Structures are given as C-alpha cells and as structure tokens.
Amino acid sequence: MRGLLVLLLIVGLVALMTLGPRWLGRDGEVAGSSSELPGEGDESPCHPLSETCTWPLADGPASVSMKPLEQNELSLELKLPDNPDRVVMILLGVSMYMGEYPVGMQKQQAGRYHATFVPPFCTTGPEMVWQVTFEVDGRRLDTGPGLVFSPSEAFES
C-alpha cells in the first residue's frame, strides 16, 4: 500500500511539472505575461543566427544579430535607435519552459550593445529553441514578431 502511494505521488508530480505551465497559461508562458510566443500573430519570428533581425520602434529601427564563437558560446549584437543606460538580454525557453535567464549587455558605443553567452543546458540538447527578449532601462522591449534561435543552428552535435 505504501509503495502504491509513493508511485501515485511521483506520477502526480511528473504530471504537475508537465501540465503545470499549460494550466497557468499558454505552453511555455507564465500566466500574466503579456509577450506572445514566436509564431503567433501575423508574422513569423526572426532567427538572428541566420539573419540580421530588424523591427521598428518609436524612435527608429532596432536590429539584432548573433554569431557562434568557440565552445558553444554565442555573440549577440543589438543596435537601438536611442541610447539607454541599461540593457539586459533575457532568454526564455520555447521548446521547454525553463524560466528566464537574464544576460547583461555591455554598451559598446551610443546605441550599440554586446553580449557573449552560452545558452543554458537543456535535456533536449542543441535542438532547444530559445526566445530572446530585451529589457531596456527596466521595461520590456517590443521585438516585433519575436527573435528565436536554436544552438543546433550554430553548432554541430
């Protein structure tokens, strides 16, 4: 009897971990979050590892590009039309919700920011899809249709 209760508890916890994000909101999104997941809406998300992504802002266009470095490191360049003091890149798992990973960006010159990072490890491996968003001076930046990448786009397994 005790073994059956332990088994039911384990199955219940696995079900909660699997279905919990769906119960709280959309897949991979915490309830109350206002950002859309890539692929929703009229436009497709942009892939900064294979193209320079641009989108309009009130003050002018913004752009982002990424390139692979050595040992699974990635480099991200962000250009903004204004010159904010603080920019943070935020990684959010799309394939699997893994929380948010903030990465501080270094100001290179007026309106240009850089970050070097290693995407968090996931059991799905390099096929994991990540969404990139930015926080500028404490506010989320609208990136248009979304920015997504998968380490498999840059590194061979």
CATH number at residue 106: 2.60.40.10
Residues 38 and 87 in one domain: yes
Residue 69 and residue 6 in one domain: no
Per-residue pLDDT for 46 more than 90? yes
Tell whether 92 and 113 lie within a shared domain.
yes
77 and 99 assigned to the same domain: yes
Domain carrying residue 91: 34-153
79 and 109: one domain?
A: yes
| Rounded average pLDDT over 79-102 | 92
12 has a pLDDT exceeding 50: yes
Note whether 15 and 84 are same-domain residues. Answer: no
Number of domains in the chain: 2
Q: Do 27 and 90 fall within a single domain?
A: no
Are 3 and 58 contained in the same domain? Answer: no
In this structure, the answer to whether residues 10 and 64 fall within a common structural domain is no
Find out whether 132 and 39 touch, Cβ atoms under 8 Å.
no
pTM for this model (two decimals): 0.69
10 shares a domain with 39: no
The arithmetic mean of pLDDT across residues 115-119, rounded, is 93
Q: Rounded mean pLDDT of 58-75? A: 93
Higher pLDDT, 18 or 87: 87
pLDDT over threshold 80, residue 19: no
- Cβ(133)–Cβ(37) below 8 Å: no
Query: Does 99 share its domain with 148?
Result: yes
In this structure, the answer to whether residues 40 and 117 fall within a common structural domain is: yes
